[in-house]
Amino acid sequence: MLERSTTDILILGSGGAGLFAALHAFNADPDLQITVAVKGLLGKCGCTRMVQGGYNAALMPGDSVERHFMDTIAGGKWLPRQDLAWRLVEGAVERIRELENELGCFFDRNADGTLHNKAFAGQSFDRTIHKGDLTGIEIINRLMEQVWDRPIQRLEEHRAIALIPTPTGDALSGVLMIDMRSGNFRFVQAKTVLLATGGGPTMYRYHTPSGDKSCDGMAMALRAGLRLRDMEMVQFHPTGLLAGPGTHMTGTVLEEGLRGAGGYLLDGAGKRFMYDYDERGERATRDIVSRAIFAEMRAGNTTPHGGVYIEMKHLGVDDVRRRFKGMVERCADCGFDLAGGRVEVVPTAHYMMGGIIFEPDCTTSLPGLYLAGEDSGGVHGANRLGGNGVANSTVFGGIAGETMAAHVRQGLAFREPDESSIEIETARARHPFTKPPGDLNALRERLLDLMWNQVGVLRDSTGLEQGIADLDDLKCELMETGLADGGQVFNLTWHDWLNLQSQINVSQAIARAALKRENSRGAHFREDFPGEGDLAASTYTVVRMVGDSLELSVKPVDFSIVKPGSSLIDGEAGMPAVAAK
């Protein structure tokens, strides 16, 4: 059964990007019809809720947006699209004020009343604003209340499955979704659609993002012919909890502050190993520590569950308990004593820097489609600074809301859908009901392992080629695997099947882009090409789907604001100052 509805503005996802878009669109014109469709419950799903560390904004005397910009560019290994990075750092200052003064967030303060800024890796200034280690809950709860308070329509537990074009294919007409509760299909015709489904590298054996995320937005965009960039750039956090079988806590982040405070990483035999890899020991950057741990794991120097240990007790058991209360309690929940013993950890896939190509005003190459948040590519380049993720989603979410409202007010009309696309996409989603039941979970386990082993922290051409072949096989096998239960009503196994399809499609894009980049930058490390290459001649990868195949290309990075070897900061060592834009 196909239900139909219309709306001026349709927002997919209710993370920082989706909710900010809804509020800014409403503020621009309260008469617009705005609908938020989300796979889970509004404000209760996605990763913005999970933000622990905080939000980067250059607010303090001595800091500047130029400094934040340079940290973002250097951290991204000169691959970020510079106009997007500039928009991010400039917008973060405005957005954090808005969060506090208009939306009612309380962030931690110093004794003199100024906002407390904590240190985060890779930054030349302490600029991470936070609410303890529960920053995301503070932000999302306030955003959620504000959205509830306005006549913004909610389609909860509605999963978007396809972007439906016009009959000529030159613009977007609306979105096909499944009402997960009833199992019915729903086509929402919209003048403007925001894709804000939050990416999320959940196809890796160990990962941090919320379980509702399965890269659906990127998979839909690929099928709609949009271009994605930097897909090889998957950030791994070095210390995910390794809690053993029978718990969903594995992959959960143990914060960077533990290593920063002087925590030790030990191999399975209890030997410290980080100094074998970097003179900064455990305080080396995320990517270096992740690679070192992965190398130890590959050499078999592991703990009982196959990771390494983190140990803190030499810093004083009571001190550790006091300073890292949340982490100590989380570990205790899983039976580990972080303050006085050892906890097993493993690198964990955390964030996708890559995503769909978009413009600073959040428009895309497909008229009617807008983009914000972790689904988008180009803001972070090869690495995201901690604290720049939630800034990215909230800054661009707000911009997207304003742009969509302005475009609707300019007189956009509804576009008729290509009815045959709706039929094809409905059949595609119903495909598993047409096949004999199979072991879906076994396929998922294979995906997690192959992405971890062949397209993970350390890569080379042999592994990547094998990974690509295995992904092709997995895709074919999925198409022959059906569901044991034939009903569509709240059938979560059906959604597991659809999740797996999105994850495999996007994994193929990651693996192909990783093979294409024959150098090592930021999160992407090729053992067969360990050098970073010539920064001045940097290129980024672009992937798009043509028919059933992926087409790969590279494009030169545009250094329109600052060139490698230069800086926007006056007098920075060895770097001539250039004008800010």
Ligand X SMILES: Cc1cc2nc3c(=O)[nH]c(=O)nc-3n(C[C@H](O)[C@H](O)[C@H](O)COP(=O)(O)OP(=O)(O)OC[C@H]3O[C@@H](n4cnc5c(N)ncnc54)[C@H](O)[C@@H]3O)c2cc1C
Q: Which amino acid is at 107?
A: F
**Please, which residue, 92 or 515, has the CB nearer to ligand X?**
92
Q: Cα separations (Å) of 196 from 30, 86, 139, 157, 569?
A: 21, 20, 17, 15, 33
Q: Which is nearer to ligand X, 217 or 268 (CB)?
A: 217
CB 136, min distance to ligand X, A:
6
What is the pairing mode between strands 342-352 and 234-241? antiparallel
C-beta of 72 vs 520, nearer to ligand X: 72
DSSP string, 56-113: E---STT--HHHHHHHHHHHTTT-S-HHHHHHHHHHHHHHHHHHHHTS-----B-TTS
Helix H segments across 236-277?
Answer: 257-260
Query: What distances in angstroms separate CA 66 from CA 127, 282, 361, 564, one per listed residue?
Result: 13, 29, 20, 15
Which tokens sit at 91?
A: 């917008």
The residues with which 195 forms a beta bridge, in sequence order, are 12, 371
* Site of interaction with ligand X (CB under 6 A): 12-18, 37-40, 45-48, 50-54, 159-160, 196-198, 208-209, 212-213, 216, 253, 351, 373-374, 386-391, 393
Quick one: 52 or 538, whose CB is closer to ligand X?
A: 52
Minimal CB distance residue for ligand X: 15
**388-409 and 82-101 helices, crossing angle to 10°:** 90
94 closest CA partner among 402, 403, 391: 391
Least Å distance between CB 56 and ligand X?
A: 7
Which of 47/483 has CB closer to ligand X?
Answer: 47
Long-range Cβ contact pairs of 58-63 (< 8 A, separation 24 or more): 58/89, 58/92, 58/93, 58/125, 58/127, 59/93, 59/96, 59/115, 59/117, 59/127, 59/129, 60/114, 60/117, 60/125, 60/126, 60/127, 62/125, 63/125, 63/127
Q: Tally the residues of the chain.
A: 581
* Structural tokens at position 292: 């070192």
Both tokens assigned to 453 = 């082993």
Minimum CB separation of residue 45 from ligand X in Å reads 4
Closer CB to ligand X, residue 174 or residue 467? 174
Nearer to ligand X, 230 or 267 (CB): 230
Closest CA to 544 of 363, 365, 362: 365
Q: Give 491 or 520: the residue with its C-beta nearer to ligand X.
A: 491
- 3-class state of residue 95 by DSSP: helix
Question: What residues act catalytically?
Answer: 237, 259
Minimum CB–partner distance for residue 527 and ligand X (Å): 27
Nearer to ligand X, 197 or 403 (CB): 197
Q: Are 1 and 185 in contact (CB under 8 A)?
A: yes
Instruction: Report the 10 Å Cβ neighbour count for 122.
Output: 17
| Gyration radius (Cα) of the chain, Å | 23
Q: Which is nearer to ligand X, 266 or 506 (CB)?
A: 506
DSSP strand pairing (172-179 vs 158-165): antiparallel
CB of 345 to ligand X, least distance (A): 14
Enter the tokens of residue 50.
């999970």
- Residue 339 DSSP SS3: coil
User: Shortest gap between Cβ of 52 and ligand X (angstroms)?
Assistant: 5
Q: Which residues contact 532 (CB under 8 A, 6 or more apart)?
A: 77, 519, 520, 521
Cross-strand bridge partners of residue 541? 554
Smallest gap from Cβ 571 to ligand X, in A, equals 29
| Smallest distance, ligand X to C-beta of residue 115, A | 15
Cite the DSSP H helix spans in 234-362: 257-260, 286-298, 317-323, 325-333
